[in-house]
Amino acid sequence: MRKTGKILLAAGLAALLLAGCGAGESAGSQTPGEGAAQESQEASGGESVSLKDWKVEDIVTLGDYRGIRVSLADPSVDQDTWDAYVEQVYQSSVPSKLWITDRAAALGDTVNIDYEGRKDGVAFDGGTAQGTNLTLGSHRFIDGFEDGLVGVMPGETKDLELTFPENYGSAELAGQAVVFTVTVNYILPEMTDETVAAAGDESFSTVEELRRYVYDYLMSSAQARWESQLENMILQTFMDQCEFRDIPEDLVAKYRQNLQTTLDSAAASAGVTADVYTAYLYGMDSASFLDTYSVESAKQELAMQAVANAEGLNLSDEELEEELEQLRQMRGAETVEAALGVNTREDYREYLMIENVIQFLKENVTNSAQ
């Protein structure tokens, strides 16, 4: 069964494909003069037709899409990152019954602290926190902070008179004298099989199992990033090899409208305007974003359709209906139309066609780093 849990973008994978855009070109001023698309439009009174109905071979010339070469090293997990995450997961899972409160903190201990930093008696930004775990001797904090907590009993509060280094990142604090008021809440026990087991987490009960649990999580994340990076590299190379003639204006208009819908929704979710959203992510206002990427989206999907036509990757009506039924069931909708929402059946056919083409390109790529 095909995975259909990805978000259906109205533009048809706009977010997925933007990273693979080729060099920008202006949209053409006319639709293809001949072919099934124009005939279908005339017969239907000018209604837009499906991408598969365009004679895309008259618009795009494909490059050597079967011979794409990239260089991307296999995903991996950095040892320091692994160790740090293991400590983080362990520290957050230690039950309170194991907290150490009957002896003073020593160098090498991990202590849980609350602190407030003040300059000239006024708390400064970034200088206050509660429930922070800090290993004494790790040099995470400025000189004197960690050493100043050695010998402090849990429950005790101590003022640390310190000075920020001259080269500190904040100009307001660099070289300045400050006072940190720190309370040691408790000391965390050393990580052992017994303390890990006491956490009661079903995912791990020994140190080795905890390390494997964290490694698997980090590797899964690295693999996902690798897959995304590989896909972007393939799409970039694929698009760079394509040559385009006039891009149909009504196709560009379709993608512009769909991108507008997607953009408005994303900006609203982020609590900002469309202009702020695109300025932050793409370095341009929303109108420039739509002008650029509506053309690029049209070009990419035309190129994808050309590959689908050449390689037999289009879905038949029967295959589409099967996929739509799976989508309906997955979303628990009463009808296919309810499952599709604002999208049409042909939108979904194009979405699945693009998935097929991307998978085809990935299966035929040569990765020289492997």
Which sequence spans correspond to the domains of the chain?
Answer: 14-68+241-367, 100-188
pLDDT of residue 49: 55
Q: What is the DSSP letter of 189?
A: P
Residue 204: partners with Cβ closer than 8 Å, 6 or more residues away: 196, 210, 212, 213
Q: Which residue has the tokens 């040099």?
A: 139
Residue 240: partners with Cβ closer than 8 Å, 6 or more residues away: 22, 23, 63
pLDDT of residue 251: 87
Strand-strand pairing, 60-61 and 243-244: antiparallel
- Pick among 3.10.50.40, 3.40.50.300, 3.90.1150.10, 3.40.605.10: CATH of 100-188: 3.10.50.40
For the whole model, what pTM was predicted? 0.73
Mean pLDDT (10-residue bins), the chain, 370 residues? 33 33 33 35 45 87 95 96 96 95 97 97 94 95 96 97 94 95 98 94 95 98 96 96 92 89 93 95 94 93 95 96 96 95 89 95 93
- In whole angstroms, give the CA distance from residue 204 to residue 213: 7
Nearest by Cα to 10 from 248, 297, 274, 216: 297
Strand-strand pairing, 122-135 and 110-119: antiparallel
